[in-house]
A and B are shown apart, each in its own frame.
Chain A
Amino acid sequence: MLMIRRDLVDAMVAHARRDHPDEACGVLAGPAGADRPERIIEMLNSARSMTFYEFDSGDLIRLHRELESRDEEWVVFYHSHTATEAVPSRRDVDIAGYPEAHYVLISTRDPDTHELRSYRIIDGEVTEEPVEVVESYMFSHTGADDVPDAS
């Protein structure tokens, strides 16, 4: 299951809407080992495409170092599909290289309502997982620790 704060959902959707009809992509980072997204890092889609996204390789290593130095990790990789549903494509599955992360897809094909779904992608196998949107992690048991949010 992915438990996620509402403001992070709103921020991902806003990013996806802003970049529509190109695909938007980014990361939600959180404390290492906690499986709890705390902040959004919008990434540039270096492909600038309506049907493909890719993090710039330089951006990726810089983000990796930044997270390391803050004792954080990528908890979620998100991207949008702008003309199809929020389901991983065959290419999404073939390329997915982070079995430890949640893959969140956002569909912006409908201008009024979005679709947001989360998956694990491990060894080419896709498993959808429930998404629980919460106002705050403070009163939600994450199973990780009892430290409340800064907010």
Chain B
Amino acid sequence: MAVTVSVPTILRTHTGGEKSVDASGSTVAEVIEDLDTRHSGIKGRLVKDGSLHRFINVYVNDEDVRFAGGLDAAVHDGDNVTILPAVAGGCAGS
């Protein structure tokens, strides 16, 4: 399954500055694995302890994958995968 992945500015150090890259896989996890083979280190920015990093949002065709199985969410040929860091924070220390 060939998909297009939109990469946020903060991760473009891994993609040579590219904001959109190709990848393949039939689940979000496979897409991320494939991405990491071409853009070394990107997986570590997205996945922590076997699940999606709490403050990274991944969307397949604009649906948040957290509500569709997380890393196991299915992707299909031609899908658009978008990565957006969460916008969050607050005064509590850590």
Q: How far is the CA of A92 from the CA of B62 in the complex (A)?
A: 25
Q: B21-29, B30-38, B78-86: which one contacts chain A?
A: B78-86
Chain B residues whose CB sits within 8 angstroms of the CB of A92 once the complex forms: 89-90
Residues of A within 8 A of B (CB): 23, 25, 43, 47, 49, 51-55, 57-58, 60-62, 64-65, 77, 79, 81-84, 88-92, 94-100
In contact, A52 and B9 (Cβ under 8 angstroms): no
| With known contacts A57-B64, A61-B59, A65-B62, A95–B89 Cβ distance under 8 A | yes
State in angstroms the CA–CA spacing of A90 and B92 once bound together.
8
Question: Does B89 lie within 8 Å of A61, measured CB to CB?
Answer: no
**B residues less than 8 Å from A97 (CB atoms):** 8, 10, 55-56, 84-87
Task: Flag if A95 contacts B91 (CB, 8 Å).
Answer: no
A89 touches B92 (CB 8 A): yes
